[in-house]
């Protein structure tokens, strides 16, 4: 775990330290310390602030992109203070596998945090619902917006998909059959011209890239 704010580090220590299934190995205060500690301990997942010294606004993203070279299986959860999708787009350009982009306050939601850590450890992708909401809520600049063609049900599924949920999880969340979910997803991909994609993280990446292309 890395964050440049003492308050956050303390709170995170208490939260993560008491979460079953998660073993908090180290807490760092800046990018340099983080790199050293990762080298030393080789954790499964790193939960880090996007913005911290020495790199400033991009430190966390840069770390996440570099980490893929060092340890391709290591997951990174990036915490941001801004609910701004475009700021995180750089993160996913390096590949969406094993990456999560959450608002910082998600640390306060034990279940969500743990879910994100576990998904990322397994190579999946998670995007904070608030950010997904941002992406979907707007009237957009393109004249004939394919998003308009999606039914409201399909939009819901799109949102859930962008949050990184598997088809089963979506089915459960929206109280649908898995078959129905798959059918809807197929229709969504067709309407958005995205091509069928079974790999969840690649799906999420595709959807995110599509959505943030304004």
Partner 1 sequence: MSRLVPTSVRTSVTWRVVAVLVVPLTVLSLWIGLTSENLQNSELGALYRTYHSSAPMVIGLFWWARRPASRMGPLLVAFGFMCWPLALVASTSPALFSIGVTMQSPTFVTMFLLILAFPSGRLRTRFEVAAFAGWYLIDVLAAGGNLLTYPGLLSLTPLGLCAAECPPNPFAMGSAREVVDLLGWVEFWYAVGAILGTLTLYLWRLARASRPLRRELITVGLTSSLFMIIVVIFYIGTLIISIPPETAAALSVLLILSRVLFPIGFLIALFQADYYALRAGGRLMRELAAGSSPERWRDSVSSAVDDPSLRLGFWEPATGRYREPSGAGLMAEPGRTWVPIERDGDPVAALSTDPALADEPELLEQVAEATLIAVVHGDLEGELRASRARLVEAGDAERRRIQRDLHDSAQQRLVALRIHLTLASERLERPEERAAIEGLGEEIDAALDDLRSVASTAYPPVLARMGVSAALRSVCRRSALPVMIIDAGLGRHPEAVENAIYFVSLEAIQNAAKHAGTAATVRVELGEDGEGVTFSIQDDGTGFEPGGAVRGQGLTNMADRLASVGGRLSIETMPGRGTRIVGRVPVVAGSVAHA
Greatest pairwise CA separation for the chain in angstroms: 52
Closest residue by Cα to residue 2 from 56, 60, 55: 60
Task: Candidates 59-67, 70-78, 104-112, 170-178: pick the segment binding partner 1 (CB under 8 A).
Answer: 104-112
Closest residue by Cα to residue 46 from 94, 201, 112, 65: 65
d(C-alpha 59, C-alpha 8), whole Å: 17
Residue placing its CB nearer to partner 1 in the complex, 22 or 176: 22
Residue placing its CB nearer to partner 1 in the complex, 32 or 138: 138
**52 is an interface residue for partner 1 by CB under 8 A:** no
Residue 12's contacts (CB-CB under 8 Å, 6 or more residues apart) are 1, 3, 27, 47, 107
DSSP 3-state of 13: helix
List binders of partner 1 among 105-124 (CB under 8 A): 105, 107-110
Query: Taking the complex as a whole, how short is the minimal distance between the CB of residue 203 and partner 1, in angstroms?
Result: 23
Residue placing its CB nearer to partner 1 in the complex, 61 or 171: 61
Task: Candidates 20-28, 83-91, 152-160, 170-178: pick the segment binding partner 1 (CB under 8 A).
Answer: 83-91
**93 is an interface residue for partner 1 by CB under 8 A:** no
**8 is an interface residue for partner 1 by CB under 8 A:** yes
Binding residue for partner 1 (CB under 8 A) from 41, 42, 53, 81?
A: 81
d(C-alpha 97, C-alpha 126), whole Å: 9
Query: Taking the complex as a whole, how short is the minimal distance between the CB of residue 198 and partner 1, in angstroms?
Result: 30
Residue 192, CB-side half-sphere exposure with 13 Å CA sphere: 24
Closest residue by Cα to residue 61 from 28, 90, 32, 93: 90
List binders of partner 1 among 133-172 (CB under 8 A): 134-135, 137-141
Closest residue by Cα to residue 159 from 190, 182, 187, 127: 127
> In the chain, what is the straight-line distance between the N-terminal and C-terminal CA atoms, in Å?
33
Binding residue for partner 1 (CB under 8 A) from 99, 104, 165, 184?
A: 104
Query: Taking the complex as a whole, how short is the minimal distance between the CB of residue 64 and partner 1, in angstroms?
Result: 17
Residue 134: phi and psi, rounded to 5, are -55, -50
**53 is an interface residue for partner 1 by CB under 8 A:** no
Binding footprint of partner 1 on the chain (CB under 8 A): 5, 7-8, 10-12, 14-15, 18, 57, 81-84, 86-87, 104-105, 107-110, 134-135, 137-141, 214
């Amino acid at each position: 775990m890395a964050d440049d704010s003492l308050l956050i580090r303390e709170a995170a220590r208490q939260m993560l330290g008491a979460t079953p299934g998660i073993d908090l190995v180290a807490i760092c205060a800046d990018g340099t310390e983080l790199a050293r500690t990762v080298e030393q301990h080789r954790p499964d997942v790193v939960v880090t602030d996007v913005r911290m010294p020495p790199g400033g606004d991009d430190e966390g993203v840069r770390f996440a992109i570099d980490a893929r070279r060092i340890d391709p299986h290591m997951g990174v959860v990036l915490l941001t203070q801004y609910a701004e999708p475009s700021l995180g787009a750089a993160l996913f350009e390096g590949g969406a596998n094993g990456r999560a982009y959450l608002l910082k306050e998600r640390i306060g939601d034990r279940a969500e945090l743990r879910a994100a850590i576990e998904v990322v450890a397994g190579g999946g992708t998670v995007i904070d619902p608030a950010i997904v909401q941002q992406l979907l809520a707007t009237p957009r600049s393109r004249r004939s917006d394919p998003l308009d063609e999606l039914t409201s049900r399909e939009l819901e599924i799109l949102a859930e998909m962008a949050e990184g949920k598997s088809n089963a999880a979506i089915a459960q969340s929206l109280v649908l059959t898995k078959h129905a979910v798959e059918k809807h997803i197929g229709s969504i991909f067709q309407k958005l011209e995205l091509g069928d994609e079974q790999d969840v993280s690649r799906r999420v990446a595709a959807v995110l890239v599509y959505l943030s292309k304004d």
